[in-house]
């Protein structure tokens, strides 16, 4: 059975997250329905990241197996005709047997956008969190530096019984052009981790938390230590990294 990779992006505003859920409109559910319509197979896909309700993706990666080989140029065109405009399939290509969009990924990166001005920009309202108070980006970058490395991020993640919240963050930085932007790259993320990291850094930026308090928040492994969770609509799954040899 051929194994395929799809690269796609989506506006998450109208979806109850990526992962299929009974009775809910999800990206994965819509994609699998589109595949059924186009290739007439009941396909089960695997995604690189399980984005939450309202979260967007610049690059989501999906893998699936099919009963037969396909004309991939035609497949992309046909899928876009069914699933657009909220979702766009950018490419499709064959991958080795056993390759998985989720388990073959070496890292994922997210960006979070903040509209930091007194009045909200109407053109950014669906993709940026409006924060009207001043933010100290120097302090926020000091806080972000403490996040890099391998830590138990239980203070930042929704606890799932039987699962570890130890994660290794590779990069964590704040910058500003028109929007204030958080970039974070990790081997993997746990549930609500990025939005909680943004919430804590925003509290640092407004002077409610000191940058040097961040190691203590991490060490506490206590969800109550993070007072703010940023809303989902400012978050974008930005990129997924694979070995050049297998993906």
The three-state secondary structure class of 234 is helix
Determine phi and psi for 137, rounding to 5 degrees. -70, -30
**Residue carrying structure tokens 């065109």:** 77
Alpha-carbon distance 56 to 46, whole Å?
17
Measured CA to CA, the distance from residue 135 to residue 131 in angstroms comes to 9
d(CA 185, CA 229): 19
- Residues 6+ positions from 47 with CB-CB distance below 8 Å: 18, 19, 28, 60, 61, 62, 101, 102
52 a catalytic residue: yes
- Distance, CA of 135 to CA of 206 (rounded, Å): 5
Closest to 102 (Cα-Cα) out of 240, 244, 217: 240
Sequence-ordered alpha helix ranges (H) in 146-192:
none
Which of 7, 11, 52, 212 is an active site residue? 52
Among 30, 25, 31, 24, smallest CA distance to 7 is for 31
Give catalytic residues, as residue numbers. Answer: 52
């Amino acid at each position: 059975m051929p194994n395929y990779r799809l690269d796609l992006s989506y506006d998450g505003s109208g979806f109850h997250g990526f992962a299929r859920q009974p009775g809910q409109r999800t990206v994965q559910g819509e994609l699998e329905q589109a595949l059924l319509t186009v290739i007439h197979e009941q396909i089960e896909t695997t995604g690189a990241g399980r984005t939450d309700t309202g979260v967007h993706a610049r690059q989501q990666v999906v893998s699936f197996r099919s009963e037969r080989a396909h004309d991939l140029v035609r497949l992309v065109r046909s899928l876009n005709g069914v699933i657009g405009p909220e979702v766009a399939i950018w490419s499709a290509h064959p991958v080795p047997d056993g390759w998985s969009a989720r388990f073959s990924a070496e890292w994922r990166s997210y960006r979070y956008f903040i509209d930091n001005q007194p009045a909200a920009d109407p053109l950014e309202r669906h993709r940026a969190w409006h924060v009207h108070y001043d933010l100290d980006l120097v302090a926020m970058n000091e806080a972000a530096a403490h996040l890099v490395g391998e830590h138990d991020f239980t203070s930042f993640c929704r606890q799932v019984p039987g699962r570890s919240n130890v994660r290794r963050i590779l990069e964590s930085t704040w910058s500003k052009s028109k929007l204030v932007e958080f970039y974070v790259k990790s081997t993997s993320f746990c549930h609500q981790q990025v939005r909680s990291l943004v919430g804590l850094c925003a509290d640092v930026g407004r002077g409610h938390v000191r940058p040097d308090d961040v190691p203590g928040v991490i060490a506490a492994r206590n969800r109550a230590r993070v007072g703010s969770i940023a809303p989902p609509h400012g978050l974008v799954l930005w990129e997924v990294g694979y070995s050049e040899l297998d993906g």
